[in-house]
Structure 1
Amino acid sequence: MHGPGSAAWLLVALCAATGAYCLLRMRSRVEEQRRTAGGEALMGFGMALMAIPAAAVTPPRAAWVAYALVFGAAALRTLWAARSGTHHLHHLVGAFAMAYMAVAMAAAPSGHAGHGGAGTPLVTGLLLLYFAGYVLWSGARLVPVAPVAATGGGPQVSGWGDRPELARACRLAMGIGMVAMLLTM
């Protein structure tokens, strides 16, 4: 997970900012949005911690095991929530990917996955394909189709936590971050 220093720090900043905005979204009046924002905040902050360059901090093996347990539990919780709708499946894939990367880091002798030269494992490749497709899809959703009239033609927004375009931008940022992290494995 530990790429070049400046790029890694930019990824840390992007993921931490995304996690912080998701915490703001947890103040929404819509219960489903609060729940989703909480999972996304966990993902953003977890990605930020995992992307810290190894030159700055090399976490002990126990930290990677803890990450794997936390994101494994998040994956199980999301799997349970997926019974009510397929919109939870992306969060399930994300939590699984985080647990998978943490297990890979815990299993690596030096704590740095991807330095074995054995090529890209099948699971990593499948996750890369999924998140690359997700980034393209979610990026296309941010492009406005038609201008919204300035006189109430759009949805009523009550605060920063209820802005759907910002939530989509955060999901796009986390998708890009996930691609970057998977590429360094």
Structure 2
Amino acid sequence: MHGPASPGWLLVTLCAATGAYCLLRMRSSVEEQRRAAGGEALMGFGMAAMAVPATVAAPPRWAWLAYAAVFGAAAVRALWVARTGPHHLHHLVGACAMVYMAGVMATAPGRHTHGGSGVPLLTGVLLLYFTGYVLRSGLRLLPTGSVVGGPGTVGWADRPELSQACRLSMGIAMLAMLVTL
């Protein structure tokens, strides 16, 4: 993505660390956790690759098209999984947002905006969605006052607060990437 190098590297680090933790979560004994963690790991590493500052490595057009193809396939998979429940729709929105950003970067590399004035409609809709998602995810991390089980009762790969923190950090990263379009 385009923008200042220092925040870009922070974004790369955040997304790569989140992707790495999601890979570790794939060792969970709960199948639903493993499945979700795989998709989130792909999203984290993909976001890290796309966030590398353009001043360091400006990817060729074909790389953006490859990102669009990979996340297009992830969107199709998310659409297939979403038929089992609406809670999977976020993965679909995230994958579609990645396809959109890759498409924008493939058609306008080196530019910070789409041209014209204002924010394009789809970018604005995605910014609103991910802002709501980040706020909701942050609220879900707040303590509720009740403790379910004590330390050691849940495996580290199955800790819901860590999974939620990963989702929150990827939502924030998605917002940062959308703002730079």
Q: TM-score range by the shorter chain?
A: over 0.9
Relative to structure 1, the CA distance from residue 113 to residue 100 in structure 2 (aligned partners, 3 Å threshold; closer, same or farther) is farther
**Counterpart selection for 2:163 from 153, 162, 167:** 167
Give the aligned partner of residue 136 of structure 2: 137
**Counterpart selection for 1:156 from 150, 153, 157:** 153
Aligned-partner residue type, residue 50 of structure 2: M
In the TM superposition, residue 119 of structure 1 has moved relative to its aligned partner by 2.4
Q: Check whether the contact 1:15–1:45 (CA below 8 A) recurs between aligned residues.
A: yes
**1:86-138 Cα shifts (integer Å, max 9, x gaps):** 11000100000000000111111x34452634321100000000000100000
Aligned-partner residue type, residue 46 of structure 1: G
Give the aligned partner of residue 40 of structure 1: 40
Partners of 2:127 and 2:141 in 1: how far apart? 21
TM superposition outliers: structure 1 runs of 4+ over 2 Å: 110-113, 115-119, 152-156
- Secondary structure (helix, strand or coil) at the match of 1:65 reads helix
Partners of 1:69 and 1:179 in 2: how far apart? 21
- Secondary structure (helix, strand or coil) at the match of 1:84 reads coil
Give the aligned partner of residue 121 of structure 2: 122
The percent identity for this pair of structures is: 71
Aligned-partner residue type, residue 154 of structure 2: V
Q: What is the correspondence of 1:1-185 to structure 2 with a 5 Å cutoff?
A: 1-108=1-108, 110-114=109-113, 116-148=115-147, 152=149, 156-158=153-155, 160-185=156-181
Partners of 1:7 and 1:78 in 2: how far apart? 30
Partners of 1:13 and 1:154 in 2: how far apart? 29
What number of residue pairs does the alignment pair up? Answer: 181
Aligned-partner residue type, residue 27 of structure 1: R
Aligned-partner residue type, residue 81 of structure 1: V
TM-score (norm 2): 0.95
In the TM superposition, residue 148 of structure 1 has moved relative to its aligned partner by 2.0
Partners of 1:30 and 1:80 in 2: how far apart? 20
Q: Check whether the contact 2:4–2:53 (CA below 8 A) recurs between aligned residues.
A: yes
Partners of 2:177 and 2:90 in 1: how far apart? 17
Aligned-partner residue type, residue 153 of structure 2: Q
Give 5+ residue unaligned stretches, structure 1.
none
Give 5+ residue unaligned stretches, structure 2.
none
**1:14-72 Cα shifts (integer Å, max 9, x gaps):** 00000000000000011111110000000000000000001110000000000000001
Q: Check whether the contact 1:61–1:111 (CA below 8 A) recurs between aligned residues.
A: no
